[in-house]
Structure formats: structure tokens, C-alpha cells
């Protein structure tokens, strides 16, 4: 068996390109249907790591498609992706990243570095540029990861623009139609209120995140919010130095009450 060229060793995306395969190749037309959109997502640092959250509503125009979408995706044991935009494109990006990270781990016998993971997502967004420029298949994600090669192992948050530029967030990042409301409340809490998000315990951070979504849903019809009376909660995942934890609906209900 011949070995892979050195230029693509461990690089799943380069392997696809070498075989003229594009995971995001889509041909748009002027008669494209109304797209399903997924909103709203955000992430912030709390005392023990990063909390990444998303409501569960997807819309198509003024139609609510579903209130059962999971917008926070575990890519591997040390990274999370939150999607805002077109779910079909975003979920495909997530699957490609999951395969890419695992391919590198198995072929190189080590995990991909955090900077390389950040660039891998940026590359997928850049490859999606033709669709983005046509206003079709736009994805504006958030990414959280742990750089296991640097001590201490502290989770980091990154946000992107639709063209693939990436930026590291100091305290928090938001995306989606309800993001402006959530960003405003996060900014106020960080500057003037107590406790600051970075000082919150996990129960406090979960309660705060749920209240953020409830507030955003009052001003944005595309944000599903949280409705405890009908057991409609959010997708919440916690990224710590030692891995990922999913916050269940039962935990959310308990901590929302305080």
C-alpha cells in the first residue's frame, strides 16, 4: 500500500481536495427555495470553563419549522461547534470537521492542535464563499476548544464572519437573530452586575443562559427561548479542560428555579 503524499498527511480536507471531492459543493439557482434558518447561539466563560448554548427553533421565512434542533455539536472530546444560519450547510460542516479531527488523530497518533481546528472551520467557511455571496447557505458559527498542548488547559471561544475570518472572544460571543439582545445583556452583566459571567458557578451560569434565551425570545420571533411549562429547554454544553458535559433538561429545570 502506498503512503499518502506528505502534503496531505493527516489533513482530511486536503485529502478530499486531492481527489477532487468537495463536501460543500452545491449549485444555486435563482429559484432556490426558502431556506431553513437556525438561531440563536452564544458562549461565555464561567468559573469552571465555557458554557455554550443555543435555542432549539428553526424557521423558514415566517414559518416555525421545528423547536427540536440541537445547535450545539460536540466535534470531539475537546471542541464544540454552535451553529447559526442554514442547518443543512452547518451540519455538513460539523460532520466534515468530526471526520477530519478523527482522521488526524488516527493517522498522526495525536490530536489536532486548537489553532489547526480553528483554521479548519475557517477553511470550510471560505469554501462556502460562493454560496454565501449568493445569500444561500450562509453559516455564522461559534467554536470553543481546549489547547491541550499549552498549560494550563483553558477553553477558548472563537467567532467567525460568513467569509471565514476568525476572532478569539475574550469573555463571550454570540450569533444568530437573537444575538444582539443576548450580547447586550452579557455586556451589562460583565461590566456592571454581580456576579460577572466569568465568576459564575455552573448552576448560576445555566440559570443565566436560560434567562438570556427567554429574554431574546421576547424580542425575536425566530428565537425559541425556554418554556419550562411545556418542557421546552435549550441545548447547553459545558467545555472544561477535561472534556465536554451536556446539561440535561432535568438539570436545566432544577437550576432555572434557583
Locus of grid cell 486536503: 14
In angstroms, rounded to a whole number, what is the distance separating the alpha carbons of residues 145 and 141?
13
- Say whether the peptide bond before residue 175 is cis (omega within 30 degrees of 0): no
β-sheet bridge partners, residue 43: 52, 173
Q: How many residues does the chain have?
A: 258
Determine whether 39 is an active site residue. Answer: yes
Residue of 2, 36, 39, 59 marked catalytic? 39
The residues that are catalytic are 39
Amino acid at each position: 500500500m502506498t503512503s499518502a503524499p506528505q502534503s496531505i498527511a493527516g489533513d482530511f480536507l486536503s485529502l478530499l481536495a486531492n481527489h477532487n471531492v468537495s463536501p460543500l459543493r452545491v449549485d444555486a439557482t435563482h429559484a432556490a427555495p426558502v431556506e431553513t434558518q437556525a438561531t440563536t447561539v452564544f458562549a461565555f466563560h464561567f468559573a469552571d470553563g465555557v458554557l455554550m448554548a443555543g435555542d432549539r427553533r428553526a424557521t423558514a421565512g415566517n414559518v416555525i419549522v421545528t423547536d427540536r434542533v440541537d445547535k450545539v455539536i460536540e466535534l470531539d472530546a475537546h471542541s464544540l461547534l454552535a451553529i447559526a444560519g442554514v442547518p443543512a450547510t452547518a451540519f455538513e460542516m460539523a460532520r466534515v470537521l468530526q471526520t477530519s479531527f478523527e482522521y488526524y488523530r488516527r493517522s498522526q497518533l495525536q490530536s489536532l492542535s486548537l489553532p489547526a481546528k480553528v483554521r479548519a472551520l475557517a477553511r470550510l467557511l471560505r469554501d462556502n464563499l460562493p454560496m454565501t455571496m449568493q445569500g444561500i447557505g450562509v453559516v455564522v458559527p461559534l467554536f470553543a476548544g481546549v489547547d491541550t498542548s499549552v498549560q494550563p488547559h483553558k477553553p477558548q471561544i472563537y467567532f467567525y464572519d460568513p467569509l471565514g475570518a476568525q476572532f478569539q472572544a475574550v469573555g463571550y460571543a454570540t450569533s444568530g437573530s437573537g444575538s444582539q439582545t443576548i450580547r447586550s445583556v452579557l455586556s451589562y452583566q460583565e461590566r456592571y452586575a454581580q456576579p460577572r459571567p466569568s465568576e459564575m458557578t455552573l448552576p448560576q451560569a445555566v440559570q443565566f443562559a436560560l434567562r438570556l434565551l427567554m429574554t431574546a425570545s421576547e424580542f425575536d420571533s425566530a428565537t425559541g427561548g425556554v418554556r419550562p411549562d411545556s418542557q421546552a429547554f435549550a441545548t447547553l454544553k459545558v467545555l472544561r479542560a477535561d472534556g465536554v458535559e451536556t446539561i440535561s433538561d432535568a438539570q436545566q429545570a432544577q437550576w432555572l428555579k434557583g
